[in-house]
Structure 1
Amino acid sequence: MNTRPILDSDEGPFVLSVSLNADCSCFSAALETGFRVFSSKTCDQKVAREVGGGIGCAEMLGTTSYIALVGGGKQPKFPQNKVQIWNDQTNVVATTLEFKTPVQRVRITQTHLIVVQLNKVGIYKMKIPPERVTEYETANNPYGLCELGKSTVAFPGRTIGQVKLFDLNTGNVSIIPAHETPLRALALSRNGDMVATASEQGTIIRLWSFPSCTKLAEFRRGVDPAAIFSLAFSPSGTMLAVTSDKSTLHIFDVGSTQPADSKQHKYGFLSKVPLLPRQFSDTYPTASVKFEMGDEPTTWGPHMKSATLGAGIPGVPGGRPTKGLLGWLDDNTILILGAGQDARWERFSIVIEEDTGNKIVAPSGWKRYLDD
């Protein structure tokens, strides 16, 4: 294994971060030298742009030619306190937003632009130039946690473990006291009626209804702590996918928060025995499978589990290359994307075993997407 520090790598190109567009049809890769766009379904490259410097994050506006760029890496192309709205048809910056502190992440749709800083979230109407709607202070948010749906924005609140939801249509604000420790991952369902949350502890994933903000379920990823990389609802909202630094993909059935009987539970009849620790009765994944995080230097590691640590690669969400990013192509097909020196695209299929009727997750394709 190559144990040299990431930023000293001379084996290019090196992917700093990766991001999916709103409908998961494409993904963008931010590099030390520019950015690229790929088809999510086939992993075929659609766009490759060398811009003469590092891009920390690149967020696509649907399938249009507009991409929000933030500088990053060893030699950033742009200052990290600016968001550049790049028009790929003309190869020029259409407009720029400047801030007092570095930008952690950007979210963008046809109607809105969300800019995430370490302790602030700004909400804008997507125009040229963007029109500010409002902004909110947040707890430390080095991972740039923020989910932008069709009519809702979800992001950390001012209190640790809290989720704030902003209704883009009405301006109403809702608050969910989701966890006692800092948030590590968020997800919104496609129709906006559910929110999934995970904390730095990484053992329990909680499911909340919206707009009522009541807790619907708790799912147990495992007993030992882990860094949750990504949460994602299936298009129909019937399943929730979870990845972690254990290199495992878990699938939970959202519509069935309790097993039909003890025979289907991980711990069998023990799940019904009173007074045993709660992990014996908790709801475990319906299916799990290993994914490849990629062969990376040892300097990329578990010390970045904590949202209180901000050191790392400048301009990159979380300070380390994206790993375990989830996207659903349809209700039976999941993608896992990773950045870094060993940048990977993996596809998994959800199938039902004929003999047992159990749901399983099976690998159905993978690629190092920067390889020629």
Structure 2
Amino acid sequence: MNLARHSISSTNPIHVLDARFDPDCKIFTAATPAGFAVYRASPLKLIRKRELTGGTLAAVVPLHTSNLLFLVGGGRSPLYPPNKVVLWDDALGKEVAELEFREKVRGLACRRGWLAVALRRRVVVFEVGEQVTRYGEWDTCDNPQGLLAMATAPYSTLLAIAGRQMGHVQMVHLPRCPLPMFSGPPPSSPPLKPPPYPTKPHVSIIAAHTTALTTLSLPPSGKLLATTSLRGTLIRIWDSWTGKLIKELRRGTDKAEIYGVAFRPDEQEVCVWSDKGTVHVFHIEVSNRQSSLSGLAPFIPLPKYFDSEWSYAQYRIPVQSSHISLSSTTRSSIVDAPDEERCVVGWVDVSADNSTPSHTTPPKYQLVALTYMGGWYRLSLPDPEQSAKMASSPSLVSGTSASPPKSMPAVPRTSSGSSTVGRVEKGKERDREKKAKVTTQCTLQEFRRFGRWDGWG
């Protein structure tokens, strides 16, 4: 008996229409055909649920950990018209306002006091207080996914939206995000001082990719920007202040649909997940794994592949058929059944889960992955010292010397380019084999289910 496997249940599979974290990854929301619920992200706990009749929701967006949620109808039987955003106060258990547009709502992003709504070719921003007032509007290129991202840390200002040209990103600066309101005693640490306003204007456009964008991501501070494109092989990290490219990370060599990118709150690492069912983790401040032939780049013109930085840790989300039994009858009865690999990933501070947290204890981050089949995975990362040592020492990856040969000629002495091409192709094959051997896996610490509200959510 393999005790590490999850037990197989004969219950109907959970059908999650939408799952997303709040900006601080302290809670997450889940929309199902029965309604929606709010969970604590880690440790997993059902906080509250709302059973709704008459239709389904396409999105339930939490405004931090407040009682305010933004609801968008969707599916085959929408609860609200898809061109409306409904402001729901869960303390009152009812709608308090609604925003109506002339077209379908494509995406939402929010922070304290602000809401951004992405439409097909424009983004509209609202200030949310005692009343909801329109602040501004910006044109974009064709944006069917409704891509946008908003910085949420105190005093942050950045809103990143699709540019007017394909593959470009517009940087919009809103009024500063206020400090969170504390209902209990004030914190012992002194309040954050607002940074001075810049004397020079920020960069307003970043030409991130030559193909259409698929994700836009910001850390809470808004100092960095992550972008991906339709090719799905590269993740680019930008300095949002200067528009300078900081990192170019490689998810893989085959085309994939990247679902999302999430920065660790301290901006030291980033995780990426895609339709391949894998979660990749990269360093930002230090170098990641590279090809064993990357050291030869100054001497031999090598393809861009060999300069790529690869993830230092991965995790593959198991298909849900290994957790629950799916009969053909059950499959056919599900409306709009999601892909088994579809997921969303966030960073959680597990040191804050202790009953007596210490202010001197540095945060310890883990990953929580939510699948649209109702799986909650808590993943721990490899030892940081070991992974940093592996990333900084090519000899650990390739088994060869970290420095290139000193007497390497600038041009290989061959009668034709065929031998050079052959060596490059063989080098790629060796790199793939060695990367497969040294890739460090994230460790599954806990697996549970969410989306059902009958006692085992």
TM over 0.5: yes
Cα 1:87/1:321, change in 2 over 3 Å: farther
Deviation at 1:289, TM superposition (A): 2.0
Deviations 1:156-177 (A, max 9, x none): 1121111111111289771111
* Distance in structure 1 (CA, Å) of the matches to 2:159 and 2:122: 13
Residue 169 of structure 1 is aligned with which of 168, 171, 175? 175
Deviation at 1:360, TM superposition (A): 5.0
**Greater mean deviation of Cα atoms: 285-294 or 240-249:** 285-294
Structure index of larger Rg: 2
Q: Tell me, yes or no, if structure 1 residue 327 matches structure 2 residue 360.
A: no
- The list of structure 1 runs, each at least 4 consecutive aligned residues, that deviate by more than 4 angstroms after superposition, is 170-173, 319-322, 353-360
Deviation at 1:57, TM superposition (A): 0.3
- Classify the secondary structure of the residue corresponding to 1:279: helix
Superposition pairs for residues 222-237 of structure 1, below 5 Å? 222-237=252-267
Deviation at 1:63, TM superposition (A): 1.0
* Distance in structure 1 (CA, Å) of the matches to 2:77 and 2:32: 11
* Distance in structure 2 (CA, Å) of the matches to 1:268 and 1:80: 51
* Distance in structure 2 (CA, Å) of the matches to 1:34 and 1:370: 10
Aligned partner of 1:285 in structure 2 is: 311
- Structure 2, unmatched stretches of 5+, are 1-11, 177-200, 327-334, 350-363, 391-439
Aligned partner of 2:141 in structure 1 is: 139
CA contact (8 A) 1:353 1:360 kept: no
Give the RMSD, CA atoms, in angstroms.
Answer: 2.7
Aligned partner of 2:420 in structure 1 is: none
Aligned partner of 2:374 in structure 1 is: 343
Cα 1:190/1:247, change in 2 over 3 Å: same
Aligned partner of 1:363 in structure 2 is: 444
- Classify the secondary structure of the residue corresponding to 2:382: strand
Aligned partner of 2:118 in structure 1 is: 116
CA contact (8 A) 1:220 1:285 kept: yes
State the AA in 2 paired with 1:71.
G
Aligned partner of 1:307 in structure 2 is: none
CA contact (8 A) 1:293 1:338 kept: no
Query: Structure 1 vs Structure 2: percent identity of aligned residues?
Result: 29
Between Structure 1 and Structure 2, the one with more strand by share is 1
Q: Tell me, yes or no, if structure 1 residue 248 matches structure 2 residue 278.
A: yes
CA contact (8 A) 2:70 2:85 kept: yes
- Classify the secondary structure of the residue corresponding to 1:15: coil
* Distance in structure 2 (CA, Å) of the matches to 1:227 and 1:155: 19
Residue 159 of structure 2 is aligned with which of 153, 158, 164? 153
CA contact (8 A) 1:167 1:173 kept: no
**Greater mean deviation of Cα atoms: 168-177 or 149-158:** 168-177
* Distance in structure 1 (CA, Å) of the matches to 2:87 and 2:97: 5
- Structure 1, unmatched stretches of 5+, are 1-10, 260-264, 298-311, 314-318
Superposition pairs for residues 167-316 of structure 1, below 5 Å? 167-169=173-175, 174-256=204-286, 258=287, 265-269=289-293, 271-273=295-297, 274-292=300-318, 294-295=320-321
Deviation at 1:333, TM superposition (A): 0.4
Structure number with higher relative contact order (C-alpha < 8 Å, ≥ 6 residues apart) = 1
User: When the two structures are superposed, what TM-score results if normalisation uses the length of structure 2?
Assistant: 0.68
**Greater mean deviation of Cα atoms: 128-137 or 75-84:** 128-137
Matched pairs, number: 337
CA contact (8 A) 1:345 1:368 kept: yes
Cα 1:267/1:362, change in 2 over 3 Å: same
